[in-house]
Structure 1
Amino acid sequence: MKEINLASVLVAKRREKGITQDELAAYIGVSKASVSKWETGQSYPDITFLPLLAAYFNISIDELMSYSPQMERSDIAKLYTRLAADFASRPFEDVIAECAALIKKYYSCFPLLVQLVKLYTNHFMLAGTQERQEVLLNETVTLCERIQAESGDVQLAKEAVSYQALCCLALQRPQQVLDLLGEGIRPMLPEGMLIAQAYQVMGNIGKAKETLQTELYQYVMVAFQGLLNVLQMATDHFEKAEEAFLRASDLAQIFNMKQLNPNNVILLYALGARMYCANNSHAKAIELLGNYVDTCVGAFFPFELHGDAFFDLIDPWLKDCGAAAPRSEQVIKESMLRDVLMNPAFASLQDDPGYRRLVQKMERFIGR
């Protein structure tokens, strides 16, 4: 989106038309001094003159004001990356104030609003108090509702529903999550397969292959996340939890998860370590925490989702979806230590020399 820049547009269009300030003033019914002030940015025309000026130059009022309520997707991606980094380097409320100003300024640029919803969802926990966190989450819910009601874009609306559900979970409103998503799982429709077949019939084999790869990639990631959820929730059933861990480990190896999505891999190590620690298998827990730290230190940054030798057609789709990390590198590093290694679940390992070495290694990595 460009800033309102009526002055330069007036100058350019008047010169393009080959008229003087006097002639333009006479047509509009104002003094030459008024036109001069408009063109130098000292003042703006009265709102009633805008239709006359736009009609005279055969342009829209938006064009006259050099105003567009939209932002290009590439600019949105750059803005998201910059704001995510700002959360690690600037006061939290300053960044939130800038986000609020952007929401007001680009209130009908729905692709941007979805990314700001994503930004809030990934950073609300940095707010100073629980009350402030809840305020931000409620503001995010309101923004999600606007996107669903007014964007007119099915995919953006779906994303908004998902983020709204995440916010409702964080706000401890489980019934609202069920109201949004339904109380049961419906059969998945093979939309990607149908789209790919449509491209195939049209003779666009390359696009058909890309679509199939993209859908398969998503199914793999959903299956992996599902296994992690089973592992996390089966705390009272060690055998079931361990089976989920082993199956996820196999899936990670089969699909080269460390390269496709290293965040999934470190989550697997962290959850596996918690499971084994809770069942007094301390040596196995420390082994997995060692894998966790090694992956964080050596194979995680710079974080950006991408394909591999098998998923060799999905990079454009990932880039369009926003493949960069949802939070800044420093914020992620702090979370790696705070939320995992320093988690109370590992209190029984505090005196273990191997565990202390892992903590020290991570502290050096994040610059403490």
Structure 2
Amino acid sequence: MKEINIGKIIVAKRREKGLTQKDLAAYIGVSKASVSKWETGQSYPDITFLPQLSAYFNISIDDLLGYSPQLTPVDIKTLYHRLADDFASKPVAEVLAECETIIKKYYSCFPLLLQMAALLANHHMLAIDSESAKTMLEKAVTLCQRIRTESDDRTLTREVIAVEGLCYLILNQPDQVMELVGETVRPFPADTEMLAQAYQMAGNQTKARQVLQISMYQHLLFLVATASAYLMLNASDLGRVEMILARTLGVAELYDLKALHPNTMAQVYHAAAQVYAIHQDADTTLSYLADYTQVCISDFFPYTLHGDDYFDVIQPWFEDFVLGVSAPRSDEVIKQSMLDGLVANPYFDFIKADRRFIKLIKQLENHLNNEGDTQ
């Protein structure tokens, strides 16, 4: 990231032109000592000199200042993951203070603001109390609203809806979600399929194959991930629950989702366990919690997005993501959430004394602790 560093830029540009400090001072109409102080960082040029200096060096005022209000995608990815790691290792208030400084500094860098909103939403549970968590989510909403109203990047404004909607759900504001996304479900657009056909017609079979794989991969994850919410919605009807699980787990097994996208499978097993916990069915609850635990301890870390033998040309797509192939939370935060999914979930209070439940917790704790030692 760039900081205001006008002194070094004046030195560099002056030397490019073969000028002495005295030459530059004479042109600007100041003393040689003034130029020396600018270059050593003891003082800054008066604001009225900036147009004259930038014109003389044939650069913009922004370039003269050495500051850009925008960050590159690489800058944003690096910054996000560094702050995500900080949330896992530093006091939350300290990290939030730095986030606020960065937001103010780059308030017109909308791609960064989107990731800062996602960062706050993804780590609100680490706040010291519920009110602080609410403040983090409300800040994320404010950033999302700024992007939607100020940015002319249509792709960015579509992406921000998902983050803003998630915040409303966590804040228990369903009306805001319906206002944001609309109350009518529209069919998926056929953009991806048309793009693949266009690549095929143009003779680019490789690109057409990649586009269709990306489409199938996304639809697959949408189908299986949505099942978690559908299970909870139908929790009172165990007949339907069994049907949902049979179809969902059948698809998951067919595509080997435990290996392809273990986080999605962990969510499905966890939701299934919660449904049977509602019915106080200890055996079935523990069975799905065992599946959940097994996914969590089976090559989950370091967590990265990846394809497989079937989805064999989508890796470059992942690598082009703003955050790259890494998860939006640090591994340490993910590990804690895995444990919290068992020990801090009130659905499972009725089996907390069950030796099988205690064994699962110890199994998960031991694996995650050893995993941390080996990385």
TM range, normalised to the smaller chain?
A: over 0.9
Flag as ranges the 4+ runs of structure 1 deviating above 6 A: none
- Superposed CA offset, 1:104-132 (max 9, x none): 11112222111111110111122122222
- Are positions 1:6 and 2:22 aligned together? no
Deviation at residue 79 of structure 1 after TM alignment: 1.8
Contact 2:225 / 2:268 at 8 angstroms: preserved in 1?
A: no
Q: How many residues align?
A: 368
Q: Which amino acid letter does the alignment assign opposite residue 346 of structure 1?
A: F
- Residue 350 (structure 2) aligns with: 348
- 1:227 to 1:139, Cα distance in 2 relative to 1, 3 A: same
TM-score (norm 1): 0.95
Partners of 2:125 and 2:347 lie apart in 1 by: 20
More moved, 177-186 vs 125-134: 125-134
More moved, 152-161 vs 48-57: 152-161
Deviation at residue 175 of structure 1 after TM alignment: 1.0
- 1:265 to 1:97, Cα distance in 2 relative to 1, 3 A: same
- Residue 365 (structure 1) aligns with: 367
- Residue 334 (structure 2) aligns with: 332
- Superposed CA offset, 1:157-206 (max 9, x none): 11111111111122222111111100020111111112222333333332
- Residue 143 (structure 2) aligns with: 143
- Residue 35 (structure 2) aligns with: 35
- Are positions 1:100 and 2:119 aligned together? no
Partners of 2:207 and 2:70 lie apart in 1 by: 28
Deviation at residue 280 of structure 1 after TM alignment: 4.5
Partners of 2:344 and 2:146 lie apart in 1 by: 39
- Superposed CA offset, 1:213-270 (max 9, x none): 1121111111112222111211111111121112111111111211221011111221
More moved, 319-328 vs 273-282: 273-282
SS in 1 for 2:353: coil
SS in 1 for 2:30: coil
- Residue 320 (structure 1) aligns with: 320
- 1:351 to 1:40, Cα distance in 2 relative to 1, 3 A: closer
Contact 1:54 / 1:61 at 8 angstroms: preserved in 2?
A: yes
Partners of 1:141 and 1:305 lie apart in 2 by: 27
The 5-angstrom pairing of residues 53-64 of structure 1 reads: 53-64=53-64
Partners of 2:329 and 2:255 lie apart in 1 by: 25
- 1:117 to 1:245, Cα distance in 2 relative to 1, 3 A: same
Q: Which amino acid letter does the alignment assign opposite residue 357 of structure 1?
A: K
Contact 1:14 / 1:20 at 8 angstroms: preserved in 2?
A: yes
- Residue 16 (structure 1) aligns with: 16
Q: Which amino acid letter does the alignment assign opposite residue 13 of structure 2?
A: K
- CA RMSD, aligned part only? 1.7
- Residue 49 (structure 1) aligns with: 49
Deviation at residue 307 of structure 1 after TM alignment: 0.7
- Superposed CA offset, 1:39-84 (max 9, x none): 1111111111111111111111111112112222123222222211
Contact 1:3 / 1:67 at 8 angstroms: preserved in 2?
A: yes
Partners of 2:29 and 2:248 lie apart in 1 by: 75
Gaps of 5+ in 2: 371-375
SS in 2 for 1:186: coil
Gaps of 5+ in 1: none
SS in 2 for 1:135: helix
